[in-house]
Amino acid sequence: MTTSGVWDASSDRIEMKRKSSFSLLDQAERPMPAATGDEHPGKMEKLWKLMSTYQPNDPESIQKAFARHLEYSLACTRFNFTMHDAYRAAGLVLRDRLLESLNDTTAYYREQDVKRGYYLSAEYLIGRHMQNAIANLDLEKSFKDAFMELGMQLEDLYAEEVDPALGNGGLGRLAACFLDSMATMSLPCWGYGIRYSYGMFKQCIENGRQVERPDFWIGDGCPFEIPRPDITYPVRLYGRVEEGLDESGNWALRWIGGELIQAMAYDNPIPGFDTYNTNNLRLWRALPSKEFDLDAYSSANF
């Protein structure tokens, strides 16, 4: 029995059963986007046709996608790649399927014009992506068989993933649980947070003593996140507020001075359990708004 929500699979004649539910999409056609009056269907018809079916989820198709990403996405060769390269390529194979579900979910929300919710949190302890996504998409058997035939164990790939260091306490885990629950309940809700480059610290044992090291978790990249360089906003820090008149002669407050940084979006698909619904966690990365200031550096203003 599936949870109720805005994603009504029965209206699209899709059987919502837990076992092998996502694999049913192999035979289903992807929904066409609703017309808004601005498109030119003739120009897009060929592209829509090419994207009319879902990525197949049988073991052989997963293996082919893995080999393609290994060589063409990661620039590895079949004779020279590490287990970490294999994990990243497998992550990209899984991300392809997450993107299909995320795009369809977003299109369905837009078509139904649903009221959306947004959860803001300074931290999200979401845990490792791969095992959770494979389980929620019900693709564990297909992925296990595919990589076993390639001489790899899923458990070895899981071990290569680093936990995203996006928080340090119980509230971060609670926020992550909220996201999973909202996706599972097919609620049109997104999470918003900060894409930290470093965690609090990484604990290590050296000579029988605990030591702390910087936790640069994003150093090798994350195959599941989706960079959005087209979604960037300026954020002002410091400065001061001045009173004055706007262009229309009305009294207004202006925030001037200080320092500007750029906030760039990174999307992380959050698949629900026992549903085709996939929501999104959008994290913001801080970037400089201008090039390196050599004068400030020369003045020791770091």
Query: Binning pLDDT at 50, 70 and 90, where does residue 120 land?
Result: very high
CB 54 within 8 A of CB 30: yes
Helices within 69-117 (DSSP H only): 83-112
**H helix or E strand, kind and range, residue 45:** helix 41-50
Under DSSP, is residue 58 helix (H, G, I), strand (E, B) or coil? Answer: coil
The model's pTM: 0.82
Query: Binning pLDDT at 50, 70 and 90, where does residue 50 land?
Result: confident
Query: Binning pLDDT at 50, 70 and 90, where does residue 292 land?
Result: low
Q: What is the pLDDT of residue 101?
A: 92
Dihedral (Cα; 68, 87, 157, 172), 10-degree rounding? -130
* Buried/exposed code over 93-126 (b: 16+ C-beta within 10 A; e: otherwise): bbbebbebbbebbeebbeeeeeeeeebebebbbb
Q: Across residues 60-80, what is the average pLDDT?
A: 93
**H helix or E strand, kind and range, residue 76:** none
| Structure tokens, 34 | 């609703």
What is the residue whose two structure tokens read 């680093």? 162
Bridge partners of 189, per DSSP, are 117
Residue 294 has pLDDT above 90, yes or no: no
| Structure tokens, 129 | 């992506």
Query: Binning pLDDT at 50, 70 and 90, where does residue 46 land?
Result: confident
| Structure tokens, 109 | 């929300």
Task: State the Cα–Cα distance between residues 143 and 138, nearest whole angstrom.
Answer: 10
